[in-house]
Amino acid sequence: MTVQTASLAGLDLRAEIDRLRKEKNAVILAHYYQRPEIQDLADYIGDSLELSRKAAASDADVIAFCGVKFMAETAKILAPEKTVILPDVNAGCSLEDSCPPEKFAAFRKAHPDHIALTYINCSTEVKALSDIIVTSSSAETILQQIPREQKIIFGPDRHLGGYLSRKFDREMLLWPGVCIVHEAFSETELLKLKAQHPGAPIAAHPECPPAIVDHADYVGSTSGILNYAKATDADTLIVATEPHIIHQMQLAMPGKTFIGAPGADGNCNCNVCPYMALNTLEKLYVALRDLTPRVEIEEGLRLRAKRSLDRMLEMASGTVGKGDLGAR
Ligand code: 13P
Ligand code: SF4
């Protein structure tokens, strides 16, 4: 989408967004990887699971989703009666791109005795082909409810899948997708940084490759990393995930120091998610004003995708019994 920024000159965007939010009964949901100026005016900031829950529970007429497409689609799947807008429709995700539905369907067909445990970072079509969705914060709880003898396909993030497989000693067939942002951290540069700050623990997202995760003192979702930062006694923390989350850390803990883990040359911007960065205040304003770009999902597809998401929401809160799963 091209926003005519010239015509927005002179507008107080924050005040205008605030006016439109009230006028349209809209709620602004933002992921931790959004630009600080978007985080600052959001009604809720959270990780993928928290934002899904907020979308499902919201009584707003409009959800302005400041995140990426699969997150906004999840909101629409769970709250179909609401108008869901995404400031930039091109805000995709490399994990989603790595997993075309027709290839995923063929992979499933080749392994009929496996269930598909699928990371939420995928298309609605892939959710519809899956048995249970997980987020980084719910994956461990959900995996532990699946009987050990049940064979599992895990996609599309091979690093999250590999991490779970090692931690719980469970073999899983891994789809070969990666997050381009977390893949770009450098072990060598991380070790140099650690040598400069020997007392600083490392907190890493499980989308990081094993060479990074193996050095981490804590591994968890964006919310998990934020909570760890609050709980640790250390006054300096090395953060191996998308660096915009550091904004919330600085707001909550102004006395602590947070250092983003480095990329390949120690000084690149390669750990900023280029998709998340597409959303701007200007685009959010236009989206709220015009109620577009809108997320629309064909009803049959939505209902098929909702099954695997509902299972996640149930299992993440422990309400589904242990033997309740089966291959599709
Ligand atoms: P979280 O669920 O931990 O917020 O992760 C979402 C994501 O896209 C990480 O790259
Ligand atoms: Fe996708 Fe990675 Fe961006 Fe998260 S950080 S939205 S996984 S590309």
Asked whether the predicted pLDDT for residue 138 surpasses 60, the reply is yes
pLDDT tens digits for range 233-269: 999 999 999 999 999 999 999 999 999 999 987 778 8
83 lines ligand 1 (CB under 6 A): no
207 lines ligand 1 (CB under 6 A): yes
The region that residue 318 occupies, defined by phi over 0 for left and psi between -120 and 50 for alpha, beta otherwise, is left
Peptide bond into 101 cis (omega under 30): no
Asked whether the predicted pLDDT for residue 2 surpasses 90, the reply is no
Question: Using CA positions, which residue lies closest to atom 6 of ligand 2?
Answer: 93
Ligand positioned closest to the Cα atom of 120: 1
On average, the pLDDT of the chain sits at 94
Asked whether the predicted pLDDT for residue 127 surpasses 90, the reply is yes
DSSP code of residue 41: H
CA of 50 relative to ligand 1 center, distance in Å: 11
Span 95-178+302-324 CATH architecture: 3-Layer(aba) Sandwich (3.40)
- Break the chain into its structural domains and give their ranges: 5-92+276-297, 95-178+302-324, 182-271
- Residue given tokens 């079509």 in the structure block: 125
Nearest to 214 by CA among 153, 159, 141: 159
pLDDT tens digits for range 193-208: 999 999 999 999 999 9
Atom of ligand 1 at shortest range from CA of 222: 3
CA of 287 relative to ligand 2 center, distance in Å: 22
Percentage of the chain lying above the pLDDT 90 cut: 91
Span 5-92+276-297 CATH architecture: 3-Layer(aba) Sandwich (3.40)
Whether 5-92+276-297 and 182-271 share one fold: the answer is yes
pLDDT at 107: 98
pLDDT at 6: 58
List all residues 6 or more positions away from 223 whose beta carbon is below 8 Å from its beta carbon.
32, 46, 47, 49, 50, 137
Q: Average of pLDDT values for 111-126?
A: 98
Angle at the Cα of 12 from the Cα atoms of 284 and 3, rounded to 5 degrees: 40
- Residue given tokens 């967004």 in the structure block: 17
Question: Using CA positions, which residue lies closest to atom 2 of ligand 2?
Answer: 179
CA of 170 relative to ligand 2 center, distance in Å: 25
Ligand positioned closest to the Cα atom of 179: 2
When pLDDT is cut at 50, 70 and 90, the band that residue 5 belongs to is low
More confident residue, 321 or 256: 256
179 lines ligand 1 (CB under 6 A): yes
Cα separation, 189 vs 293, whole angstroms? 40
Are 242 and 206 contacting, i.e. CB atoms less than 8 angstroms apart?
A: no
φ, ψ of residue 3 to 5 degrees: the values are: -95, 130
Q: Average of pLDDT values for 275-279?
A: 98
pLDDT at 325: 36
Span 182-271 CATH architecture: 3-Layer(aba) Sandwich (3.40)
